[in-house]
Amino acid sequence: MKDRQPSPGISRAERLSDEGLQRLDRQLACASQISDAVLTQWLRRYGESARAVIRQHGRYHAGLESGDAFADKQTQT
């Protein structure tokens, strides 16, 4: 018999791992066409860590922070 009760889902702490940031880095390095809306989600979930990865690949702009996924990309920092 099992001593452990099954638990549904995965905890937020386990979901927000370095592995996720490595996946984002690989996708951006391969020039994947990741939409600004998806990059905004990465920023919301991972915060400063995702911001650094996105900046490193030249995809960061102020519109990602405001949630405006269609902001003018000419304002990149």
- What single string gives the DSSP state of each residue in 29-41? HTT----HHHHHH
Q: How many domains does the chain have?
A: 1
In a domain, 33, yes or no: yes
pLDDT of 18 reads 81
Nearest to 56 by CA among 33, 77, 32: 77
Assigned domain for 11 exists = no
pLDDT of residue 9: 60
Query: Confidence band (pLDDT; 50, 70, 90) for 20?
Result: confident
The verdict on residue 3 lying in a domain is no
Specify if 1 maps to a domain: no
Per-residue pLDDT band for 74 (boundaries 50, 70, 90) equals: very low
Is residue 5 included in any domain, yes or no?
no
Q: Is residue 57 part of a domain?
A: yes
Residue 28: domain span: 18-75
* 69 belongs to a structural domain: yes
Residues 6+ apart with CB under 8 A from 50: 21, 24, 42, 43
Check residue 72 and give its pLDDT.
46
Please, are residues 42 and 56 in contact by the beta-carbon 8 Å criterion?
A: no
